[in-house]
Structure 1
Amino acid sequence: MNLEGRKIVVNKSSKELSELLKTPENYKDFMPDGLQKFESREDGFKFGLQGMPEIALKIAEVTEEKAVLTSASSSLDFTLTATLKPLSENQTEVQMLFEGKFNPFIKMMVEKPLQNFINTLTDKIEAYK
């Protein structure tokens, strides 16, 4: 299952954004409203949203071109990647890409909430100062 967020332009360099995305605590600023729990760890974070199970993510890789988050749970196989494409010295195009391997039943249950989550992350990153 692949999902994409819309492409946005952020008024920060890809270097600034990659530095921001290396720190687990910073992801709290991008979480949707309804966040009920957020715990940062050395290599990632865990969060809980109203009406959804908790999700634990590991920060697998962060470069000036992308930030890759993977599931910290062995029962869920997915990655969430933010692509970072420099447009100028102070502007970067960002797009969220989700890739998951789910059985058809799970896919049916999670596809819409995940797309909403990606859309919210995109909105929060775009509005970030």
Structure 2
Amino acid sequence: MKLEGRKIIVNKSSEQLVQMLKNPADYRDLMPDSLQSFEAREDGFKFSLKGMPEIALKISEVSDREVVLKSAASNLDFELKGTMNPIAENQTEVQLLFDGKFNPFIKMMVEKPLQNFINSLSDSLEKL
């Protein structure tokens, strides 16, 4: 299952974004209003949103053009990638891409909430 967030312009350099996105605690500021719990860890974070199970993510790759978060749970196989394309000194185009391997039943249940989550993260990033 592949989902894409819209391309947004963030008024920060790609270097500033990478510094922020490699710090697990900084993800709290990007979470939607429905956030119920958030716990930063050394290499990632876990959180829960109203009406959804707890999700644990680990920061698996960081480069000057992308940050990749992967599921920390062995029974779920997915990643959320943030791609960054510098436009100007203090402007970066960002897009969130989700890629998950789910059975059809799980896909049907999670596709809409995941798309809403990606859209909410994009909205939060755009306001930075």
Q: Deviations over 1:73-105 (max 9, x none)?
A: 000000000000001111100000000000000
Q: Measure the CA separation in 2 of the matches of 1:48 and 1:92.
A: 29
Which structure 2 segments of 5+ residues have no match?
Answer: none
Q: Measure the CA separation in 2 of the matches of 1:62 and 1:18.
A: 7
Give 4+ residue runs of structure 1 displaced > 4 Å after superposition.
none
What's the offset of the Cα at 1:18?
A: 0.2
Give TM-score scaled by structure 1 length: 0.98
Partner of 1:107: 107
Q: Measure the CA separation in 1 of the matches of 2:89 and 2:62.
A: 19
Matched, 1:21 2:17: no
Partner of 2:76: 76
- The count of corresponding residues between Structure 1 and Structure 2 is 128
Which structure 1 segments of 5+ residues have no match?
Answer: none
What's the offset of the Cα at 1:64?
A: 1.3
What's the offset of the Cα at 1:59?
A: 0.4
SS in 2 for 1:6: coil
Q: Could you tell me the percent identity over the aligned residues? A: 68
What's the offset of the Cα at 1:63?
A: 1.3
Q: Deviations over 1:16-73 (max 9, x none)?
A: 0000001000000000111110000000000010110000000001111001000000
